[in-house]
């Protein structure tokens, strides 16, 4: 069972799905592009939401390019709170395509939401990464945005009738990777809220965030566990054993 988890752990910890092409440019360039682009997208989204106007992102290549920018924007320093908030706003709206698509969601996502949702979940991991030299106020603002994302994911997990097995698995990996990011030993001494090699969460909002993580992970794990039991047989299925050991690692 350990080897099942070990192979899965490497996949989670070294996944590059949350890297944007903008990460290949100087940080100042990526920040400039992201702040301007996501502000426009968020404003357009707000206008379209109120008028049922369709998104002007009609081609898959347009959506893919935009998602590269949003991916980078989610990892901006917490001082760029407005830009990060705009990124969250856009992805929360787009994830609604898995439940009840809105006209403001780009057509390619409405037509085939699962692959895009899987990419979005990888990108959203950037939101959960601790930032060095962040004030208590900014960390709590980050926690509020994390809560918003978790509520959106919870809604999708409980209400969507179109989630594929692959998307369920990405959901679980997302939760495990986000927890690993928040609870892993610090890489820099001055990251606020770190004590004894673990995240010392600041304020009730951040403590509640971890409770939200825990309950949502249980919900998704139980779904996958029951699914594997029903269709494949947990004990005889290698994939089932891997998920079982991953969940055990998280809970203990």
Distance CA 147, CA 97 (A): 20
CB neighbours of 231 closer than 8 A, spacing ≥ 6? none
What SS3 string covers 34-96?
HHHHHHHHHHHHHHHHHHCCCCCCCCHHHHHHHHHHHHHHCCCCHHHHHHHHHHHHHHHHHHH
pLDDT tens column, 219-235: 555 555 555 555 444 44
Confidence of residue 168 (pLDDT cuts 50, 70, 90): confident
For the chain, what is the radius of gyration of the CA atoms? 18
DSSP SS3 for 33:
helix
Confidence of residue 13 (pLDDT cuts 50, 70, 90): low
pLDDT tens column, 170-181: 888 888 787 777
Percentage of the chain with pLDDT > 90?
32
Confidence of residue 7 (pLDDT cuts 50, 70, 90): low
Distance CA 129, CA 27 (A): 16
Question: Mean pLDDT, to the nearest integer, of 238-244?
Answer: 49
* Residue 195: predicted pLDDT: 33
Element at 248 (helix H, strand E): helix 238-251
For residue 223 the two structure tokens come to 């779904």
For residue 13 the two structure tokens come to 């910890």
Element at 165 (helix H, strand E): helix 165-183
* Residue 19: predicted pLDDT: 80
Please give the C-alpha separations between residue 105 and each of 18, 20, 33, 110, 141, in angstroms, as whole numbers: 21, 21, 22, 7, 26
For residue 209 the two structure tokens come to 């965030």
Distance CA 144, CA 150 (A): 10
């Amino acid at each position: 069972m350990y080897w099942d988890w070990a192979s899965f752990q490497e996949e989670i910890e070294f996944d590059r799905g949350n890297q944007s092409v903008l990460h290949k440019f100087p940080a100042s360039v990526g920040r400039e592009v992201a702040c301007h682009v996501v502000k426009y997208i968020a404003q357009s989204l707000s206008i379209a939401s109120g008028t049922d106007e369709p998104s002007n992102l009609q081609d898959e290549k347009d959506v893919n390019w935009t998602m590269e920018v949003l991916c980078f924007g989610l990892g901006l320093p917490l001082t760029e709170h407005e830009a990060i908030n705009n990124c969250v706003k856009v992805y929360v709206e787009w994830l609604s395509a898995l439940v009840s698509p809105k006209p403001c969601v780009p057509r390619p996502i409405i037509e085939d939401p699962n692959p895009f949702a899987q990419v979005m979940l990888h990108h959203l991991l950037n939101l959960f990464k601790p930032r060095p030299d962040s004030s208590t106020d900014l960390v709590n603002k980050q926690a509020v945005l994390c809560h918003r994302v978790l509520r959106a994911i919870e809604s999708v997990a409980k209400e969507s009738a179109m989630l594929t097995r692959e998307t369920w698995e990405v959901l679980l990996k997302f939760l495990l990777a986000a927890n690993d990011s928040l609870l892993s030993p610090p890489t820099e001494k001055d990251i606020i809220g770190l004590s004894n090699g673990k995240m010392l969460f600041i304020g009730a909002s951040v403590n509640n965030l971890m409770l939200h993580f825990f309950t949502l992970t249980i919900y998704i794990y139980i779904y996958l566990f029951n699914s594997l039991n029903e269709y494949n047989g947990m004990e005889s299925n290698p994939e089932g054993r891997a998920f079982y050991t991953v969940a055990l690692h998280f809970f203990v």
